[in-house]
Each structure stands twice: as C-alpha cells, then as structure tokens.
Amino acid sequence: MTTQPWDGSDRLVAIDIETTGRRMPKLEDIRKAPKGLRQPGLVIEIGCIELLRDGKGENGGWTKGRTWETRVNPDAPIHPDAIKVHNIRPNDLKTAPRFPQVVEEMMAFLGDDLLIAHAYKNEMDFLNYEFARMGKVPWGTEVFGSPRFLCTKEMSHEHFPGASGSLDALCDRLWLDRSDRFAHHGALLDADLTADAFLKMAYGDLGPRDASFG
C-alpha cells in the first residue's frame, strides 16, 4: 500500500478562507509601491476544523474535533461579486478584529499539523500575504509552504479525471450534503465539507456513483 503524507499524523486541520474578492497585488508591484503605502487586506473570514485519529471506526480512524473560526476586518472594500458568494458585507466586519489580532490564536489552533484545503494555493497565498502585510515577515516570504498542505482539489483530479475541480462538484460526486452551501459559502462550512471530502477520497469511500459519475 502506498504511503501517504498523513500516515504518520494523529491530527490534521482542514482550513478555508473567505476574502474581499480583490486580486492579490503582485510581488513586484508591492515592492515598487511608495514607502509607507499600506496594502489592502484580503482575508475576511477563517474557518478551521481538526481531524483526530483515534484508530476506531471507518475512514482510517479519524474523527472530527474542535473548530475555530473568526471574521477579520480587512480595512478594505469587498467586491460585490464576493458578497454574492459569502454574503459578508462591510458593515458585518466593522467590529471584527484585524488579522494581527487573531493570528496568535489561529497559529495556536493550527499547530504544526498538516493542513487540508480545497485549491490549497489560495489559502496558502492569502495567509502568506497577510503575514507580510502585518510586517511579521518580508514580502515574498513563505510562512506557509506547499509541503504543509493536503489539497482536495488535486485529490479530486486523481479520482475523477477531467471532472470539474470545484468543491460543489466534488461534494456531489462524493454524495456529501452541501445544502447549507446553496445560499452562501462560509469558511467553517467549507472547511467542514473539505474535511469530509478528504476522508472519503483518502479511504476509498467514493459513494455509490464512484468515479463513473459525471
């Protein structure tokens, strides 16, 4: 049996991030910007759920544990198209903490464990951007790198070649109930679905349709 990156782990964390919907500035543009110009925030909501291996039951003995979520005031506008997706409006974030105020608690929850994300590069880039924006590290520094992530989108391409890589499509193929997502997305909801999708694909529970669906 092929060894998997998570085989030696007893804890994994699924993570999802909602954003302003604005394009992330290119590194070269950031470095060319006038000194003292503050880059706009991007992250507005973070949701995480831990998976703990107890060695019992199905899906490799993994069970869901604690959750952690927060909204984040980006001090920046939210694109109307993004609001249609997550329904988070500027007024909803007026009293939310800024990223520097939540980062310590977030890092404590994540620990050093592997992170599960759908289209992980988004979460990785958003986090690295916010760390640099708060002055924690120089621009272009990776606080979070690719080896830290398990990507359910990449896994879906392996199980369902040629199929759509969206989280919605993956949930349908795996027979996961995503009805709570019909109205709007949410970081913790999406992290929870991502965790479910990971377990189904990691342990061969592809549902009655299997890879022939879609």
pLDDT digit string (tens) for the chain, length 214 residues: 578 999 999 999 999 999 999 999 999 999 998 887 889 999 999 999 999 998 776 778 999 999 999 999 999 999 999 999 999 999 999 999 999 999 999 999 999 999 999 999 999 999 999 999 999 999 999 999 999 999 999 999 999 998 888 999 999 999 999 998 887 889 999 999 999 999 999 987 675 544 444 3
In this prediction, residue 1 carries a pLDDT of 56
Prediction pTM value: 0.92
Q: Is residue 171 part of a domain?
A: yes
Residues linked to residue 115 through DSSP beta bridges, in sequence order: 13, 149
In this prediction, residue 210 carries a pLDDT of 45
All residues at 6 or more sequence positions from 145 whose CB lies less than 8 Å from its CB, including other chains: 124
Residue range(s) defining the domain that contains residue 133: 11-206
Task: Give me the CATH number covering residue 80.
Answer: 3.30.420.10
Q: Is residue 5 part of a domain?
A: no
In this prediction, residue 99 carries a pLDDT of 98
In this prediction, residue 181 carries a pLDDT of 84
| Helix orientation angle between 99-110 and 120-133, rounded to the nearest 10 degrees | 130
All residues at 6 or more sequence positions from 179 whose CB lies less than 8 Å from its CB, including other chains: none
In this prediction, residue 133 carries a pLDDT of 95
Q: Is residue 4 part of a domain?
A: no
The type of residue at 180 is D
Q: Is residue 2 part of a domain?
A: no
Q: Is residue 144 part of a domain?
A: yes
Number of separate domains in the chain: 1
* DSSP character at residue 73: -
Q: Is residue 18 part of a domain?
A: yes
The type of residue at 77 is P
The type of residue at 7 is D
All residues at 6 or more sequence positions from 52 whose CB lies less than 8 Å from its CB, including other chains: 10, 11, 62, 63, 64, 65
In this prediction, residue 211 carries a pLDDT of 42
Pairing mode of beta strands 11-19, 43-53 = antiparallel
Place of tokens 């909801």: 189
How buried is 92 (Cβ within 10 angstroms: 0-12 exposed, 13-18 middle, 19+ buried)?
middle
In this prediction, residue 145 carries a pLDDT of 97
φ, ψ (nearest 5 deg) of residue 45: -155, 140
Q: Is residue 163 part of a domain?
A: yes
Closest CA to 203 of 159, 161, 170: 159
- Contact indicator for 126, 41 with CB cutoff of 8 Å: no
- Contact indicator for 68, 10 with CB cutoff of 8 Å: no
